[in-house]
Structure 1
Amino acid sequence: MPQSTILIAADRTSDDHVVPASKVDQVCAHLRGCGYDVVLVHSEDDAASVVKADADIAAAAVSWELVGGGVQLGDGGVLRMLLDRFSARLPVFLLTTGEYDDDAPLWVSEVINGWIWLLEDTPDFIAGRIDFAARQYLEHVLPPFFRELTRFDDTHAYSWHTPAHAGGVAFLKSPVGRAFYDYYGERLFRTDVSVSVGELGSLFEHTGPVGESERNAARVFGADATYFVLHGTSTSNRMIVHSAVAKDELVLLDRNCHKAINHGVVLTDARPVYLVPSRNGYGITGPIPPERLTPEAVRAQVARTPIAADAVSPDPVYAVVTNSTYDGLCYDAVRVTELLGASTDVLHFDEAWFAYGRFHPLYARRYGMAVDGDDGRRPTVFATHSSHKLLAALSQSAMIHVKSGGKAPFDRSRFDQTYMMHGTTSPLYPMIASCDVAAGMMDGPSGQWLTTEAITEAIRFRQAVVHLGRRLAEAGDRPPWFFGAWQPDEVTDPDTGERVPFDRAPVDLLRTRPECWTLDPDAEWHGFGGLEPDFCLLDPVKVTITCPGVDAAGEVAGFGIPARVVTAYLETRRIVVEKTDVYTFLVLFSMGITKGKWGTLLDALTDFKHLYDHDAPLAEVLPDLVAAHPRRYAGLTLPELCAQMHDSLTKGEVIPLLNEAFTSPTPPVAVMTPAEAYQRFIRGRTELVGLADLADRVVATQVTTTPPGIPVLVPGERVGPVDSPLPRYLRVLEEFDQNFPGFASETHGVHHEDGRYWITCVTE
């Protein structure tokens, strides 16, 4: 039995219904003897704290006096909170010493497991009833595969199959193996078993507990079918492309798509046509404007793509849109399906960072599986989720969800063949279990509870940043600058029409009304044009911190603090952010967030401001940087470094060049398919080319710069003239890396040597 808690909430405040303390204590003692942790509280607030903090509650017995009033927690009090936190399956008993309450709300009678009269039954009998109900609950609380895996582990079977460590025994025969075994513990190795264990089912055949678990996940996520993938969303994306696209067919790719999508295009030798998203003054990638998704716009983009002329058909067979974007912009997926679905049979929403979309009303219509109804013309819709990113699962755990459409019904047998081609024949069973558990955690009210908690903490942090910035500006005893959060300055209360400053808006308003987060076409705060009302929403849990230096419109200030300096300082405080751009950085409020975690970040930002305002020596702020590059940084102060870097970024026009390179309606011209360029690469018909000679060359490998983390060049594309935005942007990055060692840009597909960039190009 899993370690479990029994909550006893016994009221001791009422003169009319005083619960006999000794009897309650005896019930608690019996339950502890059954192996439970028992938490006994005597107030509504204490009970609420336990419900919030303890996820292992297996049963609860609550005084009716604590439920009926609901003074602190609203109608239903602790009882309603228990049901919202867990589910109606959680056994809850009402304790009383009085008479049966005929006036109890009907919903109470429908959800409780019964009444307990402390003055009539014995403590042993009462504890036995609670124990029996808790065991029944625990028997069914585990999702299908994890439940069977724990049962298999309990049988202590001898292993005569792979893996060769045989439940971890092999590790015990070596000093280094023993250290490894002790670090992770026996249970991991006992559940790392072979596909020969038939009773656990087959990942390839989707049978047994594995198949039951995938079907359960499909129900939880609203899909017709769900597949567990053990190699991340990268492999999930390649699977979908490889299953849906044949040689020389046209595909529509979000230029903001993950590089794995382009890898899938290489595998299939498809002909990509790119849908170009918008960008704002911060350099943040926005949505693809809706006017670029219409059938007419798609046909025009196909006509502008030279390699599309040799496609087997002018009609695209597949399209992909990144949702949400890395920076938290979520499309109206239903609207996108209406627009883009007219041009393709298969529509793929890459939702690697958005697996929780279905579990909160704030995101209604914003996720792929929200697409419903079918008049025979809707495409089949795929959604890929990195379960490990913002749900709770082991790294590389992912899911593919499918909703079949009448335009091109999902062919499961065909997809299964592609799935087996990319999947491993030696799956890690704990990873399968983590997919199963990730789905189980989101089942029922628990999914909304967990998502609401993450949203709430993100909102409180966002408000705290703005509020602290206002206090610092009003203090008058220090420079008024501070960091900001990319979000609306004000929100409108839909019920009253009143405009409220963001940091003073009620938290409940911000976490329940999507109108507070949608990108109004006329709003200046987001910096994007060409939007429809409600087309795009900013996800509260993806918080972009803004630094002084530039605004959403791209206006550059004379004073600036580049984000790379800030996040380098944060790393010295053991705070690692998700992504650093030029003047912004991203932090994620996952389910694992805590107030202490974001409070520490806020404190670190305040400390950075103090160091900057007091002209702190760089050797004090970033000692490792100065030690590694003494000639460059010795003697500098923190403000001096920021000023030098801001001046370099401003003169180099990094953000304008970045935006020009990424938002041109016509991306770099593709003169051969990515697959053709890749064939040149593996046959050695390529050469490294420096940036000075890169103009008009055809690249053989994908070039991805971080920031922004999406491809700037795809294999087979010809780089523009020497003075075009893309070559100039790459040269500026190269020069920046040379001038600011220790702050180099992360560029995939680029060979670095002596501070210079070299890119693999097709031999002319």
Structure 2
Amino acid sequence: MRWATTADDAQAVLRTEAGTAAAVIDWNLPQAAGDGGETGGAEVLRHAGQRFQNLPVFLITDGEDLEHLPLWVAETVIGYIWPLEDTAPFIAGRIASAARGYQHDLLPPFFKALRRFDHAHEYSWHTPAHSGGVAFLKSPVGRAFHDYFGERLLRSDLSISVGELGSLFEHTGPVGAAERNAARVFGADRTYFVLHGDSTCDRMVGHFSVTQDEIALVDRNCHKSVLHGLVLSGARPVYLVPTRNGYGLAGPLPPAEIQAQSVADRTSRNPLTQGAVSPKAQYAVLTNSTYDGLCYDTLQVAQALAPSTPRLHFDEAWFAYARFHPLYAGRYGMAVGPETFPGPERPTVFSTQSTHKLLAALSQSAMVHIKSAPRAPVEHDRFNEAFMMHGTTSPLYPMIASLDVATAMMDGPQGRCLIDEAVTEAIRFRQTVVRVARRIAAADRPNWFFGVWQPETVTDPATGERLPFADAPLELLRTEPSCWQLEPDADWHGFPGLTTGYCLLDPIKVTLTCPGIDATGQMSHWGIPARVLTAYLATRDIVVEKTDSYTTLILFSMGITKGKWGTLMDALMDFKTLYDHNAPVEQVLPELVAAHPHRYTGQTLRELCQEMHNHLRDARLVELLDTAFHDLPEPVTPPQHCYQRLIRGGTERVRLTDAADRVAAAMVTVTPPGIPVLMPGENTGTPDGPLLRYLTALESFDRRFPGFRSETHGVTVAPDTGDYLIECVRQIPAQQTGRTAGEHHKTPTPHPLNPQLPTA
């Protein structure tokens, strides 16, 4: 039991005591500091309604007639207490009874059933073989495992043979009830729980939505799992190209890119579509929000793409919270439905979400949400075939329970409150960085600091006043979506071709910018590459989400606290001090120097940053990246054909110096920025073409700065030379094909399993 004597204290209790089961509030509680108008009791009562759903609240009054209380009070409380009219035991009994009822009804369907089964203490006669953890107790190392994770987790690791918990494949019992509850909360017609992450969700939806030799429209800023879906289905991809800015950040697909005529032109120019079973795409997939927090007006996107495809898939791996805060209204897939998009042209919409990433669920816990349309209806029994194909018959029940609980946490006003806290802390951090930079500029210190990628000014729609971002009221920034919209042609974001309201920057995905370049691509004479900064942050046990050449991404999830981001601010200030004092690299990055003593011993932090900046500038790496992503390689054959060659020995690893005019057999994805630059079935181009120039520049950077290499999926590094090797389709000797070398990409490729046979 917690007591509070002021409104401030009471609200602090409600913020920190999530286990509160009932509340008794005095209407005449003293007001919070600086507030006026309402009584302190009214303030606390409102806060309780925002923080908890269905929390039993009793109101203590001093005998006034209830008709003098505001009307909303009666809708919030479940009863009133007049201390002088009833006995203390009777009042306590009423409160305890209400608290028990609240706790009984609090748990969502599956979690409630799992707890009920656990409390029954039944013997386990089914898999898994550890039988509720008992097997672990028979071995010393098993006992250590049991003691670490605890008996309750192991007792809840059950087989699908437990009928009273329902079936994940048949969607019955408590599992089915939990999925139906999630569909209601997330605004879907149907929701499926997936236990292998959003990657499996993407493969599942892609495998269901498009079949052999049908056309799929694919955002080039896609996750590799989308490609895996194309490999499984045998679809023929037509890639849609997002815009990019001077930092190298991927933007949204420009509005003009997704208009029907633009899509038709791009489709007709793609060589792969010549072998398609239909000239119309059956499926389109795009990323929302992007890794860097750019989210679409999904209704605009659906209306633009509707003439081109009957099925639209929003990969919302990092955006499961969007429905629960007004900043994101109309920015998520399930916002597209018959109410917002009436008529026969509405496409069926899929939304795949990695629930565990930014909501409270266990790792790999994910969901597929579906809004079916008559134009391309999704029948449950048929979609369930794809679900079963990609699912497991041995689900981990705690994962299902975590999806159930994550749903319940978002249900009602508490969901808005939880997301609002993350938004608020992200905005406070953003403003703090700008204000610190302002203070540094006014002080007698070297005039530089890190920036934040965001608007420099915002407009208050109520007054029309234009305000510096750092000085804007918190209430304005946390409630007004227009503050975060990417205005057309604004320098701060650097993306061309956008229209008003089309794209919004998600405030909880914070991109820090380093000196050296701006959003238009203008490089300065000095700079601090972000890789050096994040290497230092790692020594402070601060691991960021993503690092590009001059930017780094910080995620503000529901688990963020002022102490957590305050620690980051302290590390940023310390890095500035080390740079300004030209500290030796041995002091700043001791493990780097220990691993590469001949390269970095005796170098200072400022020298390292400048050398790396000069290399990035002289190699024009950011410019080459932009060109490589805009000038796409020529498609030669569908991805599935390349995969078949890959597993049957029909491919070889080729050095970049020998890779010109070859057909890629595997995807090449460079992190940063984490977007594919080469897809299976695409031609690598000429030695001086955009792709090979970019990869060669990366290879050169890795050799020059060991310890800072990019994470490049699809590239093998030769241990003796450091050369990049990429997987290519093995060439057929010219005498076998009747063609000269260099012409293999201009004619049908060999059969994927028998090189002597042509493809169909």
Q: TM class, shorter-chain normalised?
A: over 0.9
Cα distance between partner residues in 2 of 1:248 and 1:113: 61
Cα distance between partner residues in 2 of 1:114 and 1:538: 44
Cα distance between partner residues in 2 of 1:101 and 1:427: 53
1:500 maps to 2:500: no
Q: Which residue of the other structure, out of 322, 333, 340, is the alignment partner of 2:298?
A: 333
1:642 maps to 2:605: no
Cα distance between partner residues in 1 of 2:686 and 2:30: 73
Cα distance between partner residues in 1 of 2:206 and 2:368: 12
Cα distance between partner residues in 1 of 2:517 and 2:344: 48
Report the counterpart of residue 77 of structure 1 in structure 2.
43
1:601 maps to 2:592: no
1:542 maps to 2:509: yes
Change (3 A) 1:67 1:100: farther
Q: What SS does the aligned partner of 1:670 have?
A: coil
1:450 maps to 2:390: no
Report the counterpart of residue 512 of structure 1 in structure 2.
479
1:750 maps to 2:715: yes
Q: Which residue of the other structure, out of 540, 562, 584, is the alignment partner of 1:573?
A: 540
Report the counterpart of residue 245 of structure 1 in structure 2.
210
Return 5+ residue gaps in structure 1 as ranges: 1-37
Cα distance between partner residues in 2 of 1:208 and 1:68: 48
Report the counterpart of residue 394 of structure 2 in structure 1.
426
Report the counterpart of residue 440 of structure 2 in structure 1.
472
Residue identity opposite 1:188 in structure 2: L
Residue identity opposite 1:86 in structure 2: F
Report the counterpart of residue 256 of structure 1 in structure 2.
221
1:192 maps to 2:160: no
Cα distance between partner residues in 1 of 2:377 and 2:638: 28
Contact 1:67 1:79 in 2 (8 A): no
Contact 2:6 2:32 in 1 (8 A): no
Report the counterpart of residue 404 of structure 1 in structure 2.
372
1:690 maps to 2:655: yes
Q: What SS does the aligned partner of 2:59 have?
A: strand
Q: What SS does the aligned partner of 2:21 have?
A: strand
Residue identity opposite 1:125 in structure 2: F
Residue identity opposite 2:433 in structure 1: V
Q: Deviation per CA, 1:565-624, whole angstroms, max 9, x where unpaired?
A: 000000000000000000000000000000000011011000000000001010000001
Contact 2:489 2:497 in 1 (8 A): no
Q: Which residue of the other structure, out of 89, 98, 101, is the alignment partner of 1:136?
A: 101
Q: Deviation per CA, 1:534-554, whole angstroms, max 9, x where unpaired?
A: 000000000000000100000
Change (3 A) 1:555 1:69: closer
**What does residue range 343-422 of structure 1 map to in structure 2 within 5 Å?**
343-373=308-338, 374-422=342-390
Change (3 A) 1:74 1:308: farther
Report the counterpart of residue 673 of structure 2 in structure 1.
708
Q: Which residue of the other structure, out of 295, 318, 342, is the alignment partner of 2:283?
A: 318
1:733 to partner: Cα distance: 0.6
1:50 to partner: Cα distance: 0.7
Cα distance between partner residues in 2 of 1:110 and 1:608: 53
1:122 to partner: Cα distance: 2.0
Q: What SS does the aligned partner of 2:22 have?
A: strand
Contact 2:655 2:724 in 1 (8 A): yes
Q: Which residue of the other structure, out of 484, 488, 493, is the alignment partner of 2:451?
A: 484
Contact 2:60 2:81 in 1 (8 A): yes
Contact 1:253 1:275 in 2 (8 A): yes
Q: What SS does the aligned partner of 1:669 have?
A: coil
Contact 1:697 1:762 in 2 (8 A): yes
Residue identity opposite 1:651 in structure 2: D
Q: Deviation per CA, 1:356-377, whole angstroms, max 9, x where unpaired?
A: 1101111111000001223122
Change (3 A) 1:468 1:114: same
**What does residue range 10-29 of structure 1 map to in structure 2 within 5 Å?**
none
Cα distance between partner residues in 1 of 2:686 and 2:305: 33
Cα distance between partner residues in 2 of 1:763 and 1:121: 88
Cα distance between partner residues in 2 of 1:668 and 1:459: 40
Contact 1:377 1:406 in 2 (8 A): no
Contact 1:67 1:77 in 2 (8 A): no
Cα distance between partner residues in 1 of 2:619 and 2:322: 39
1:52 to partner: Cα distance: 1.2
Contact 1:45 1:72 in 2 (8 A): no
Report the counterpart of residue 579 of structure 2 in structure 1.
612
Report the counterpart of residue 68 of structure 2 in structure 1.
103
Q: What SS does the aligned partner of 1:377 have?
A: coil
Q: Which residue of the other structure, out of 254, 270, 276, is the alignment partner of 2:241?
A: 276
For the aligned residue pairs, the C-alpha RMSD in angstroms reads 1.2
Q: Which residue of the other structure, out of 654, 658, 663, is the alignment partner of 2:625?
A: 658
Report the counterpart of residue 746 of structure 2 in structure 1.
none
Residue identity opposite 1:148 in structure 2: A
- Give percent identity, aligned residues only: 63
1:46 maps to 2:9: yes
Cα distance between partner residues in 2 of 1:68 and 1:45: 8
Cα distance between partner residues in 2 of 1:460 and 1:107: 32
Residue identity opposite 2:324 in structure 1: F
Contact 1:616 1:638 in 2 (8 A): yes
Where in structure 1 do 4 or more consecutive aligned residues deviate above 6 Å?
A: 67-71
Contact 1:386 1:396 in 2 (8 A): yes
Q: What SS does the aligned partner of 1:57 have?
A: coil
Contact 1:70 1:77 in 2 (8 A): no
Contact 1:670 1:717 in 2 (8 A): yes
Contact 1:96 1:116 in 2 (8 A): yes
Q: Deviation per CA, 1:38-70, whole angstroms, max 9, x where unpaired?
A: 001111110011111121111000111128999
Count of equivalent residues: 723
Higher mean displacement: 75-84 or 615-624: 75-84
Residue identity opposite 1:42 in structure 2: T
Q: Which residue of the other structure, out of 186, 190, 205, is the alignment partner of 1:225?
A: 190
Q: TM-score, normalised by structure 1?
A: 0.94
Return 5+ residue gaps in structure 2 as ranges: 732-760
Report the counterpart of residue 22 of structure 1 in structure 2.
none
1:306 to partner: Cα distance: 0.5
Cα distance between partner residues in 2 of 1:414 and 1:718: 36
Residue identity opposite 1:291 in structure 2: A
Q: What SS does the aligned partner of 1:717 have?
A: coil
Change (3 A) 1:244 1:575: same
1:73 to partner: Cα distance: 8.1
Cα distance between partner residues in 2 of 1:74 and 1:606: 42
Report the counterpart of residue 153 of structure 1 in structure 2.
118
Contact 1:577 1:587 in 2 (8 A): yes
Cα distance between partner residues in 2 of 1:651 and 1:74: 63
Higher mean displacement: 43-52 or 99-108: 99-108
Report the counterpart of residue 734 of structure 1 in structure 2.
699
Cα distance between partner residues in 2 of 1:379 and 1:270: 19
Change (3 A) 1:91 1:182: same
Q: Deviation per CA, 1:245-295, whole angstroms, max 9, x where unpaired?
A: 110000000000111000000001110000000000000000000101011
Cα distance between partner residues in 1 of 2:75 and 2:469: 40
1:74 to partner: Cα distance: 6.8
Q: What SS does the aligned partner of 2:627 have?
A: helix
1:102 to partner: Cα distance: 2.5
Q: Which residue of the other structure, out of 40, 53, 63, is the alignment partner of 2:26?
A: 63
Residue identity opposite 2:528 in structure 1: I
